[in-house]
Amino acid sequence: MQKAETRIPSLLAARSFRRLLETRLLAQFGDGVFQAALAGTVLFNPQRAADPVAVAAGFAILLLPYSMVGPFAGVWLDRWSRRQVLVRANLLRAALVAVVAALVLAGLGGTLFYIAGLAVFSVNRFILAALSAALPHTTDREVLVSANALSTTSGAVATVIGGGAGLLLSQLAGSGDPGYAALTLAAAIPYLGSAAAASGFGRPELGPDQVARAARLSAGEIARGMVAGARHAWARPPAAAALLAIGLHRVCFGLLTLMTLLLYRNGVHTWGVMFPAGLTGLSEVLGAGAVGTLLAAVVTPPAVRRLGKPRVITLSLIGGAVSQVGLGLPFLPPTLVAAGFALGFVTQAIKICVDTTLQETVADDYRGRVFSVYDTLYNVTFVGAVVLAAFVLPATGVSSPMLLTVGAVYLLAAAGYARTSRRY
């Protein structure tokens, strides 16, 4: 591979790649705004209150139902024009966000609020799976690692920037229900922009290559299609090993997520001028994670060329163990920010390698189903870990045993992945 081939300018020279990247950035910026609105509404809104179990229940209600049903959408990603999916799903999501905003404004919570949020998250995961399945249609196989590094990393950073913009808007709009309702509604604007960007593709341009024309599928046919997608991935050791690695990483990520939320809500105090507690301090951790994500985008492609994806994934998992235990145990704002930076780097390095592995080893006609299985694994492991943490962590979030557990899971994941990857 020529060094010049992996440079960002050469990727951006492809018009279709630029358009797909624009679609992703607008969509994930909107995700950041919407997530900031939800976090503010549930965690930091003085008109509402939530304990750790309630927060975990919220994650479960928003993510688990989709995770059980969402894989069936993968069958449609391999049958419908992915361009149409991106356009229509973004339009639908903008409409659903308006519904959530109305519920927040009315001061409604409970089941109805979570169902509306669930609908937005369901469409969101569908869109991300479609973006990943479509990416190989916009660039050459030889630069797929760099394409993933640029697209997924910039998308993750766009989410963080959207969250930061949401935090700034919340300061202007106020911290009550009307302010968070306005912030929620603002997320619809980038979603509409994402739909407009995706509309620039031709219908067949993003695949699938061979579209089945049956007008309707039975539930049994959909289920058999999903099983076929799972078997397709399982029969390819690189894909199976990659899914194992990302699943265990997400367990650690879920444990660390709730711990960090509780720490900045109840467990840490302002450290000098530069390291505040509360929502502002939490935003510093997220910002540090974004910087780590950007660095991973720069470092991972040359590391893969030099070491190969299996070694990069193994080293990243080991790095997760060392960084989160070493930096987390003091439970001080400066080290927590550093741990956020390290977690952002590890997360993105693993994701770049896993996405590329699946895109390289999975046939295009199965790609939508496999990425939906991947998406489900991504959600279920995360939510399961958050729920577990809710019943184990103290209200302050300070727990050395939990951090040591995170380190152990990372090391077990590294050992298991390294052993599996030697077989291919």
Q: How far apart are CA 262 and CA 255, in angstroms?
A: 11
Lowest mean pLDDT among 27-41, 79-93, 188-202: 27-41
Q: Is residue 241 part of a domain?
A: yes
- List, for residues 67-89, the tens digit of each pLDDT value: 665 556 666 677 788 899 999 99
Residue 62 lies in a domain: yes
State the residue range of the domain holding 24. 12-205+218-421
Residue 271: strand, helix, or coil: strand
pLDDT at position 215 over 50? no
pLDDT: is 67 or 269 the higher one?
Answer: 269
Q: Is the Cα dihedral 177, 48, 156, 62 positive or negative?
A: negative
Highest mean pLDDT among 39-48, 315-324, 382-391: 315-324
Asked whether residue 1 is assigned to any structural domain, the reply reads no
Q: What is the mean pLDDT of the chain?
A: 85
Asked if the structure places residue 346 within a domain, the reply is: yes
- Answer yes or no: is 6 within a domain: no
pLDDT reported for residue 263: 92
> How many alpha carbons fall within 13 Å on the CB side of residue 129?
34
Interacting residues of 180 by C-beta distance below 8 A, sequence separation 6+: 37, 40, 41, 45, 104, 170, 173
Residue 359 has pLDDT above 90, yes or no: no
pLDDT at 321: 98
User: For residue 87, how many other CB atoms are within 10 A of its CB?
Assistant: 21
- Phi, psi at residue 271, to the nearest 5°? -115, 95
What does the pLDDT read at residue 5? 41
Give residue 218's pLDDT band: very low, low, confident or very high (50, 70, 90).
low
The lowest-confidence range among 132-146, 185-199, 235-249 is 132-146
CA dihedral 318, 321, 324, 330 (to 10 degrees): -130
**Mean pLDDT over residues 3-25, rounded?**
79
pLDDT at 2: 42
- Which pair of tokens denotes residue 42? 């549930």
In degrees and rounded to multiples of 5, residue 275 shows phi and psi of -130, 80
pTM to 2 decimal places: 0.76
45-69 pLDDT tens trace: 555 555 677 677 767 766 676 566 5
Look up the CATH number of the domain holding residue 236.
1.20.1250.20
Rounded-to-integer distance, Cα 233 and Cα 242, Å: 10
By three-state DSSP, how is residue 47 classified? Answer: coil
Residue 104 lies inside a defined structural domain of this protein: yes
With respect to residue 212, please indicate whether it lies within any of the assigned structural domains.
no
Question: Distance between alpha carbon 336 and the CA centroid of its chain, in Å?
Answer: 21
> What does the pLDDT read at residue 45?
57
Alpha-carbon distances, residue 40 vs 149, 358, 413 (angstroms) = 30, 35, 34
CA geometry: angle 54, 57, 62, nearest 5 deg? 130
Domain membership of residue 3 (yes or no) is no
195-204 per-position pLDDT tens digit: 999 999 998 8
- Out of 138-142, 175-179, 316-320, pick the least confident: 175-179
Asked, as a colleague might, if the bond just before 208 is cis with ω within 30 of 0, I would say yes
Residue carrying structure tokens 């080893």: 361
Task: Please state the rounded mean pLDDT for residues 246-255.
Answer: 96
Per-residue pLDDT averaged across 10-22, rounded?
A: 89
Total domains in the fold of the chain = 1
pLDDT greater than 80 at residue 372: no
Q: Which residue has the higher pLDDT, 157 or 63?
A: 157
